[in-house]
Amino acid sequence: MCRSWFFLPLFFTLLTTTASAYSQDPGEDAFHDELPVVLTATRLVQPQRDVPVATTIIDREMIAASGFTEIVDLLRYVPGFIVNYDSGHIKAASYQMLNERYARRMQVMIDGRSIYSPSYLGVPWTSLPITIDDIERIEVIRGPNAASFGSNSLLGVVSIITRHASQEHGVMLKANTGGNLHEGFARIGENIGDMDLKATLGYQQDDGFEERYDSRQTEIVNFRADYQATANQSITFLTGYNNSPRQEDNVFDSDIPHHMTHTTSRFQQVIWTHNFSTTEYVKAQFYQLTEDLRKSFVHISTSLDIDQGHRSERSDFELEHSLQPTEDLQLVWGVSQRIDRMNSTYYLGSNPERSNRIKRVFTNLAWYILPDTIINGGLMLEDNGISGSELSPRISVNHHLTSTDTVRVSYSKASRIQGMLEEYTDITFGGAPYVIDAGDILPETIRAYEIGYIGYFPQYRSNLDLKIYHSNIRNLITLEPVDADGNLPYHFDNVDDARITGFEMTFSTRPIKSLRAELSYAHSKIRATDIYNTTKYSNSAPDNNLSLLLMYYFPQNYFASTSVFYQSQMKELATEDLRNSKTRINMKLGKTFKGSNNNTEVALVVKNITNDFENTRLENVYDRQTYLSIKTEFN
């Protein structure tokens, strides 16, 4: 750790000295003439300082500079986010607490479709049918947002927005190779009259961790068409496919042998938008997701054939109307209906097919009651087949102290409806019950209070975002033994409560055109009941974590970026152990070669430069990794 932190003063010295040398240069572009626009927080288009909850935006420049090849790793730049790997192909990420391989309490969307899996009770990051180069931006809502997007938005929302087909004309070829990583991507885009088209092919091979049986191969295909039907109407069609055979092991149970699993996921989505004016539109969308997992093995000590395969489906229709009834009022409302289906003989036992229908009515408004004061109000009424009706309200007051300084006070309530696996699980092993449906589970709920500040300092070309928060979470659902002695069978039940208090900060600066820095820091404290050692919510997040991304563009089209990640002690994922604090430093160095009709980027990426070694009970050994990236775009 000491070796890693040695570099920080060096970076900040470079930052401040360069800024002072060029601060009077009128030829340089300003950093953000205004604060970024947020699309996700309220479903209204608002400046970042007017939204009711803290929001982080990971833009395309940050994505390119990161050197990451996995989408989930980009969340490391968000204050309060924890990212970990259960194995080489099982990624885990969550905001404020992470104590299991799948983040059940966070909503993740791609172009407005929820990818939260009803069978996994989380987000299968490796099965996403998009590549990191498909992404235009990621908006991360750091706090409950059920008022806008319903259940599972308990702790936060990650909204991934892909690039419009009109932005991808021409041909792109890309390859990443080095160590245990081998990837290849190809994209073609074209314009035909009023329609823009693009298609992407991708192949990924990752050998996983050295001590684990966890390699994977992934094939990705996706297609997007954006059609401008009339001056006021547009239609977008998206579809994608992900096919991934993987090695699987179990470091905790020697009776489960090494075996292969195979995951296939697909989606189709149609979005129709009609603009009545610059301030009013109607949007309708329909999407369908399917995911199939094939997984079977022979249990060593009992010689039983175990088939843990399952299939899940989601169909969702949504209608949204946004308008501005008066000059001082923005309003959006809508309705949606979703059907989730799951099929698994292993997990659901004698009734292997289950479904859940969810109906929603929602509204959000931004009312400028004074020229410098905005009230944001939101409400979601959700009715589902498992727990009945849930009401999720949110209200905030944003006040502009000056043209560059804003304070925010907000309150929100959100629920997480128990998933089908939690509600209906019926697992038997050797004829004896192993996990049973005990019934009477309540939704998890959160009440969150937040005070925020956003400052924009044009003279320094910098932004500052501060947040202080307190959250009360009740009825956390835990897998527990039925009797007090810890004997089989197990069942899901509302066991724990938790209180989270913390502080978060994001600082962005671009003192000169060629230099940009993004710094985030989070401090949090979780106080939970922790009834069982298997949960340990109190240690499920570090007290402190920090990220720093520096980007510098040299003459002659050379560029470099450095990422520093620090995380204090926390509970090791999927175990009862505490993991020591750690620091990681990544670096990307490259050059762009510009031709008459093509651009080629060659870059060297080194992750964990200081080889900050970690060998946990999961046998995930993180050592230095190096790969070469070559990307060519033909106009």
- Per-residue pLDDT, averaged over 333-354, amounts to 93
Is 284 a residue whose pLDDT tops 70? yes
Q: Is 414 exposed, middle or buried, given 0-12, 13-18 or 19+ CB atoms closer than 10 A?
A: buried
- Which has the higher per-residue pLDDT, 530 or 453? 453
pLDDT of residue 591: 96
Is 235 a residue whose pLDDT tops 80? yes
Q: What is the CATH number of the domain that holds 10?
A: 2.40.170.20
pLDDT of residue 5: 39
- Per-residue pLDDT, averaged over 452-474, amounts to 95
Is 576 a residue whose pLDDT tops 90? no
Q: What percentage of the chain carries pLDDT values higher than 90?
A: 70
Residue burial 618-630, b: 16+ Cβ < 10 Å; e: rest: bebebeebebebe
pLDDT of residue 103: 75
Question: Using an 8 Å Cβ cutoff, are 298 and 257 in contact?
Answer: yes
HSE-CB of 357 using CA atoms within 13 angstroms = 2
pLDDT of residue 570: 86
- Per-residue pLDDT, averaged over 253-265, amounts to 94
pLDDT of residue 31: 40
Q: What is the 3-state secondary structure (H, E, C) of 526-572?
A: EEECCCCCCCCHHHCCCCEEEEEEEEEECHHHEEEEEEEEEECCEEC
Is 130 a residue whose pLDDT tops 90? yes
Q: What percentage of the chain carries pLDDT values higher than 70?
A: 92
pLDDT of residue 18: 38
pTM: 0.92
pLDDT of residue 447: 97
Long-range CB pairs of 521-524 (<8 Å, 24+ gap) are 521/79, 521/545, 521/546, 522/79, 522/80, 522/546, 524/80, 524/96, 524/500
Is 29 a residue whose pLDDT tops 60? no
- Per-residue pLDDT, averaged over 315-332, amounts to 96
Q: What's the pLDDT band for 613 if we cut at 50, 70, 90?
A: low
pLDDT of residue 2: 42
Q: What's the pLDDT band for 15 if we cut at 50, 70, 90?
A: very low
What are the tens digits of pLDDT across the range 505-516?
999 999 999 999
What are the tens digits of pLDDT across the range 55-93?
999 999 999 999 999 999 999 999 999 998 888 888 888
What are the tens digits of pLDDT across the range 171-202?
999 999 998 899 999 999 999 999 999 999 99
Is 21 a residue whose pLDDT tops 70? no
Q: Which residues constitute the domain of residue 102?
A: 2-634
Does residue 9 have a cis peptide bond before it, meaning omega lies within 30 degrees of 0?
no
Highest mean pLDDT of the ranges 121-125, 331-335, 580-584: 331-335
User: Shortest CA distance to 179 belongs to which of 619, 626, 632, 628?
Assistant: 626
pLDDT of residue 34: 58
For residue 177, give both structure tokens.
Answer: 């190779």
Question: Using an 8 Å Cβ cutoff, are 561 and 587 in contact?
Answer: yes
- Of 20-29, 399-408, 577-586, the one with minimum mean pLDDT is 20-29
Highest mean pLDDT of the ranges 130-139, 536-545, 577-586: 130-139
How many degrees, rounded to 5, is the angle at CA 467 between CA 462 and CA 472?
160
Is 1 a residue whose pLDDT tops 60? no
pLDDT of residue 209: 87
Q: What's the pLDDT band for 436 if we cut at 50, 70, 90?
A: confident
Domain count, the chain: 1
